[in-house]
Amino acid sequence: MWKKLIYILCIVAILVMVNNVERVTINGEKRLLTAFNETDFELSETDLHVWGEYSKSFMTNDDMKQLGQQVASEIGLEPMYEDDFYQEELKKVYTIEKNTTEADTIIKVVELVEEVPNNGLKVENYIVVNIVLHDKCNSILYYRDKIKDTLSNYNVYATDNLTITSQHPGKLNSEAAEEIVESIAKTIGCTIKDQFLTEDIYSIYGYSKYIDGHIVSKGEKINVDLALTYNDIEDVTYLYAAIPVITIDY
């Protein structure tokens, strides 16, 4: 009896170890970038959105400006950027923006104030960083890790969303569209949880154990969103891939 129990526990331990090694050696995010580069589509842009709560106390305008410029410096954004300050009754936003031929970068320090019972005020401050790379995607994971590491220095637990867009002239037939999307899903070990199909859109949602993090939708873990859409005005087919979900309009 004990020998059998020990044997079962050893098997379970081995399976856990194999699964952990597999997760380390297989990087689903890098596989996604590679799969995108290997399609016949032309890369358009890569959108990275990172945000997190900074504090729950009021900040002066100078405090917000100083914080924004410190974050810009630490993530490697060189000076000669534009900045702006916007304020309304219950909201303040300090924005840094820099646009180049290679990338567009926006950094925001946002203060939101909410009225609560008994004449109280609830304050939340956020740091938001958005980077759009033009015609490239390979370096986006470096920037994501750099930004999240920087925000962690301010005790900010950052959340991120990544969306890659590419395009192809003309319209693909439904069989070709499904083959491309499902091939990418297979490459990153994505199990399809839901899908949506119309004449001009093929979209799937899924989960890959090789990609960290997830959201929950309809009781299912989701961390991959793939879509093919056709724009009849431009006569262009667009391919989107996102971790965890597509956040841009299509």
Class of the CATH domain delimited by 49-131+138-159: alpha beta
pLDDT, one tens digit per residue, over 6-44 is 433 333 333 333 344 343 345 889 999 888 888 889 999
**Per-domain residue ranges for the chain?**
28-44+165-243, 49-131+138-159
Question: In Å, what is the CA distance from 62 to each residue of 66, 69, 109?
Answer: 6, 11, 11
pLDDT, one tens digit per residue, over 200-211 is 899 999 999 999
pTM for the full predicted model: 0.85
Please, which contacts does 79-86 make with residues 24 or more away whose CB atoms are closer than 8 Å? 81/105, 85/61
Nearest to 227 by CA among 172, 169, 148, 157: 172
Residues in Cβ contact with 213 at an 8 Å cutoff, skipping those fewer than 6 apart: 223, 243, 244
Range from 119-123, 144-148, 235-239 carrying the lowest mean pLDDT:
119-123
CA distance 149 to 162: 17
